[in-house]
Every structure is written in C-alpha cells, then in structure tokens.
Amino acid sequence: MPVPASYDYLRDPGEITRRSFNLVRAETDLSGLPEDLAAVAVRLVHACGLPEIVGRLAWNGPVAGAARSALAAGAPVLADCRMLAEGVTRNRLPADNEVLCTLQDPAVPELARCRATTRSAAAIELWQPRLDGAVVAIGNAPTALYRLLELLHEGAPRPAAILAFPVGFVGAAESKEVLIEAALDIPYLTLRGRLGGSALAAAAVNAVAAGAP
C-alpha cells in the first residue's frame, strides 16, 4: 500500500491541549473529590488516558494545598527515580524549587548492600537531611515507599505531603495500602492497586505546583 504524503491530524498544540482537557472532564467523574484535588485528578487522567483511575484515588487531608504551600515556601521535591525527576516541569515550580533524586549517589550501592535492600530503598536514607517539610513524590519503587514509612515511624523529619504512585506487580499495591493504614497524619495522595509510574507522580507534582489547568 502506498504511504500517503501526509495524514490528516490535529497539529496545533494549544488546540490539542484544549480538546484533551475538555475530553478528560467530560469523561471523568470528579464529583467525589474536593475541588483542589479534582484539578490534580484531571492531570492524572490526562497523563495516563484512564478516567477510571479516579475511583482508585485515596488521600488524606488537604494534600494539594499542603504540597502547593510547601512549594511556594521553597520546599524541595524529593523524587525516587530520575524519570520522575525529569518529568517535573521546572517553570511551574513557584520558587525555583530543587528537584532531588538520590538514586545515583555514589553511596547508594554500598548502602543497599549493607542493608540487604534495593538501591531505591537505600537512596531514601539520603533524603533525611532534606525531608522536613518537603514534597515527596514516589513514582517507581514500592521499596522506596516502604522505607520512607519505616523512617517516619522511626522519627524521621516529616514531609509536607506524600504523592505515592509506585507501580508494579510486587509490592506496589501493598505499599500503598500500608501508607493508607499508617495513620501518620501527613497529607498524601495515592492510587490503589498496581497502577502508577513516574508519569503519574510527575503529573501530580506538576498539578499541585500549577493549580487547575
């Protein structure tokens, strides 16, 4: 079959964005969400194309407002992986906030070996000096969320908000349920089940930084 010289498709980026968010709102039931969290949910759905994820969201406290206030005050974003860190749109951050991922720190491999754990979990140890009042975003490793929760139970500094979207077949759903059941009195947003990933975690950070699209 001969290949056509060009295809008929929408090319205007502004119009693509406008139509995308209109479709998200038309196809997504946001009625059970607080207004500021609904704006975050819109961006999450836009990031993955699945309106049905809204029914799996779980949260504690005014998480969007807490994260936004922390960012406005200059708090860092602590990310569990580089893909998530690179997905944060820097010009949406209100205070030129640092986006920190410690996974590639030279100390991490030895920490992981000594603690008999994953590098993702070991990298969380290095967050402790920056954890107080930070915005934590986890978009990859369930072990990172587990270790964060352990540290908080041990008395580590408390972040302003936790955006937890670990993904996968082993530990992802379970780690998010542990977060929900931990009763840490820290605002959080998570997505029950196996779904998650860096794109969703970055979308959550971008959403709370920028507000409603």
Q: Which residue among 37, 43, 45, 46 is the active-site one?
A: 46
Closest CA to 90 of 104, 105, 79: 79
Tokens of 209: 């930084």
Q: Does the annotation mark 46 as catalytic?
A: yes
Backbone phi and psi for residue 3, each to the nearest 5 degrees, phi listed first: -85, 130
| Residue 63, C-beta contacts closer than 8 angstroms, at least 6 positions apart | 37, 161, 162, 163, 187, 188, 189, 208
Closest C-alpha among 131, 124, 133 to residue 166: 124
Residue ranges in the chain assigned as alpha helix (H)? 13-27, 35-48, 63-72, 82-87, 108-115, 119-125, 142-153, 172-181, 198-210
Catalytic residues: 46
